[in-house]
Amino acid sequence: MLDALRGVLARDLLLALRQKSDVAVALLFFVIVASLFPLGIGAEPNLLRAIAPGVIWVAALLSSLLSLGRLFAADHADGTLEQILLGASPLGVVAAAKTLAHWLISGFPIALIAPLLALQYDLDASLYGVLALSLLLGTPVLSLIGAIGAALTLGLRGGGVLLALLVLPLYVPVLIMGAGAVEMAGAGMGGQGQLLLLGAMLVVSAVFAPWAIAAALRISSE
């Protein structure tokens, strides 16, 4: 079972490494979206400081969504997915490995680069840690929930837009807690409550989402 996890993880990471541009594009998208807000709203430092957590979180969420479409699409197109379905390794484990790979490629770099954007938004330096931590806890939940949607919309016409419609409403609690943690910490009340809730969401979705992804993959490739 762990072999399957390791194998799929190594394969997906290797594939991502061979197509670095795909990874870079999602990250660049994150940076660009976050940079657009000051241009649209105006560079008033107090305003920017107030909206920074929300904007960075929304940008992270959209960037994660952008890369979700490719999560299973290539494997579906070249028949790999069918072989995985026929194979002996438990599908839930494979789904978990693929989602983990997706997070390592999309969510993890975002969490690392977010403090840089926070700097642009003149966020207090003491909040960088909370922001990064909230993203580290929250983006895996986004990947896990998003993978269910990606598996359900596999091979459908208008899949990308449909995926957004399915997944974005389910992202809302993560967004509220993630941005809320930074805001509470900024208000001097500490963001522990929100961070703990994010952690709880991560645990619950890590347990249940792989099975839902596996079921969705079976439904989509009947």
Partner 1 sequence: MKWFWYASPQTFFPLAGTIARVCWVIAALLALAGLYIGLFVAPTDAQQGEAYRIIFIHVPAAWMSMFLYVVMAFWAALGLAFNTRLSSMMASAIAPTGALFTFIALWTGSLWGRPTWGTYWAWDARLTSELILLFLYLGFMALQAAIDDPRRADRAGALLAIVGVVNVPIIYYSVQWWNTLHQGASVSLKSSPKMASIMLTGMLIMVFAFWAYAIAAAMVRVRCVIREREA
Residues that bind partner 1 (CB under 8 A): 145, 148-149, 152-153, 156-159, 162, 165-166, 168-170, 172-173, 212, 215-216, 219-220, 222
Q: Is 87 left (phi over 0), alpha (psi -120 to 50) or beta?
A: beta
Nearer to partner 1, 31 or 176 (CB): 176
Closest distance of CB 153 from partner 1, Å: 7
Q: At what angle do helices 70-77 and 91-102 cross, to 10 degrees?
A: 130
CA distances in angstroms from 8 to 94, 95, 96, 220, listed in the order given: 7, 9, 9, 20
Closer by beta carbon to partner 1, 114 or else 145: 145
Nearest distance from C-beta of residue 23 to partner 1, angstroms: 27
To partner 1, the closest distance from the beta carbon of 197 in angstroms equals: 10
Of 30 and 72, which CB lies nearer to partner 1 in the complex structure?
A: 72
Q: How far is the CB of 191 from partner 1 (least distance, A)?
A: 15
Q: Of the two residues 36 and 172, which places its CB atom closer to partner 1 in the complex?
A: 172
Task: Name the minimum Å distance from CB 115 to partner 1.
Answer: 27
How many Å apart are CA 184 and CA 171, to the nearest integer?
20
Nearest to 100 by CA among 12, 208, 213: 12
Spatial separation of the C-alpha atoms in residues 214 and 222, rounded to whole Å: 12
Residue with tokens 């003149």: 122
Nearer to partner 1, 7 or 190 (CB): 190
Per this entry, what is the length of the chain?
222
